[in-house]
Amino acid sequence: MSALTTAAGVVVVTFAGLLGFTILLWIWIGKISLSKLVSEANGDASMSRLQFLIFTFVISLSLFLIVVGHDKSPKFPDDIPPGVFALLGISAGSYLISKGIQFSNPPQLTQPALALAPAAISAPFPATGVPLAVSIANAPTGTALPALTWSLDAPAEGSIKATAAATATWMPPAPLPATGTKVTIRAQAAGFEDGLAVITF
């Protein structure tokens, strides 16, 4: 029975470790985006979300250390200190209050955005590269085009180079990556939502 318990523990720990490593890897290569984790629907930073996240991680880690740090073997505590519940309650309460305030006064969701054309690109690619143009959406007529920053999300296949104030050219890599690989071109500017174009090989 002891050997079976140990084997089951090893399997669970190994699975949890591999799952955690996979999630961290996807976050690192950009397959999982954390940009919305502590932001509101309009993209602004959220103090209540950040506080709730920190409180949850701190209390979870503290409880984990208590369990594994038991004298003889890992054991869930018989009595959880009332202060833990108080901290969780304060954090969750402040989050709920902030959501109630937002519900009564919803944020402006139509902030200015950049739009890339073409938004979807697929093989075969021209030898001279793929030209891209930027326009402005959700903004008053006559809004000036801001200074742009061009980048490639991971996997950053190929290269992107600005050719004018509102245009750029993407050059495919050599050799081409595996069929089905997708790369995202991103145009950024302060105060605007990012403009995106997806390349499919």
Distance CA 88, CA 197 (A): 41
Overall number of domains in the chain: 2
Closest among 34, 33, 48, 38 to 103, alpha carbons compared: 48
pLDDT in tens, 94-120: 778 877 766 665 555 567 888 999 999
pTM tops 0.75: no
pLDDT in tens, 146-199: 888 999 988 888 899 998 888 999 999 888 888 888 889 999 988 888 889 998
Domain match, 125 and 59 both:
no
Say which residues have a Cβ less than 8 Å from residue 26's Cβ, sequence separation at least 6.
32
Domain match, 162 and 130 both:
yes
Residue span of the structural domain in which 55 resides: 2-104
Phi first, then psi: give them for residue 159, nearest 5 degrees: -145, 155
Domain match, 188 and 148 both:
yes
Last residue of a domain, one of 104, 139, 165: 104
